Amino acid sequence: MLTAAATARNILPEMKDRSAGIVVKGSRFAPSNFIGLMGITMHFERGAEIVAEEDPAEYVYQVISGTVRTCKLLSNGRRQIGAFLMEGDYFGMEARAVHCFAAEAITDATIHMINRNTAFAAAGRDPEIARALWDITARSLDACQQHSLLLGRKTALEKIGSFLTEMAERQGSHAEIDLPMSRQDIADYLGLTIETVSRTMTQLECAGTIALPTSRHVLVKRRQELARLSAC
């Protein structure tokens, strides 16, 4: 299957290094809105690969709707998910010429793609764009650093606690969480197995900290308790 970058290369050969490609007006999602003014928007079905590992890093991506995971496989099939990306989040803004992480749509997703060279060229002319590109990268770094802490030094219970707290915050709802990702995705994000994720969620439900009306729908009963478990 063709990845998004490969597809866009066919659609937009003439876009390279021009500062304005197909214009998408009034994007609400860019940290500074002008970044949303260049590039194209594409739709991906649940499960579709947006970026493959080792794809040339030609684009920066912003999630307009849906949820995306970035992931990397190790030799023996183990998988690490680097991040879950939701409305407004950027990905693919990395130092290397090829992407180290693949990106896949967890749900149907709308993604805005900006040519990297175009973005860097625009940054060369406009300091605000340069600063916006730096912000995107620095935010990814911040998220990655927090995640390292979790992976290196937290117990299964603390990992799940942190994860649910993070998801609640990102959804702007403190009592109700919708999980677009599977238990396996959560496990690969937290460095656990699917069984441990499942057991720990059950444990939190038994303790009355959360309720699980369905496996993808979490009600936070004792928010304080969950925050305490995060052990930051």
Check binding of 93 to its own copies (CB under 8 A).
Answer: yes
Residue 191 engages DNA in binding (rule: CB under 7 A): yes
98: DSSP letter = B
Least distance between its own copies and beta carbon 122 (Å): 10
**Nearer to its own copies by C-beta: 34 or 134?**
134
CA–CA dist 56, 70 (Å, integer):
15
CB of 221 to DNA, least distance (A): 16
Closer Cβ to its own copies, 135 or 205, answer by number: 135
- Which of 32-40, 97-105, 135-143, 155-163 is the region at the interface with DNA (rule: CB under 7 A)? 155-163
Q: Please report, as residue ranges, which positions from 105 to 164 form the binding site for its own copies (by CB under 8 A).
A: 120, 123-125, 127, 130-131, 133-135, 137-142, 144-149, 151-154
Sign of the dihedral defined by the CA atoms of residues 87, 93, 99, 100, in that order: negative
* Residue 126 to residues 37, 39, 75, 105, 130, Cα–Cα distance (Å): 14, 17, 43, 32, 7
User: Pick from its own copies, DNA, none: which does 199 bind, CB < 5 to 8 A by kind?
Assistant: DNA
What the block records as the tokens of 126 is 């406009």
Q: Does 123 sit near DNA (CB under 7 A)?
A: no
Type and span of the H or E element at 187: helix 183-190
User: Given the complex with its own copies, which of 87 and 94 has the nearer CB atom?
Assistant: 94
Per DSSP, which regions of the chain are E strands? Answer: 40-44, 49-51, 59-65, 68-73, 79-85, 90-91, 102-105, 109-115, 176-178, 210-214, 217-220
Chain positions contacting DNA, by CB under 7 A:
155-157, 182-184, 191-199, 201-202, 212, 214-216
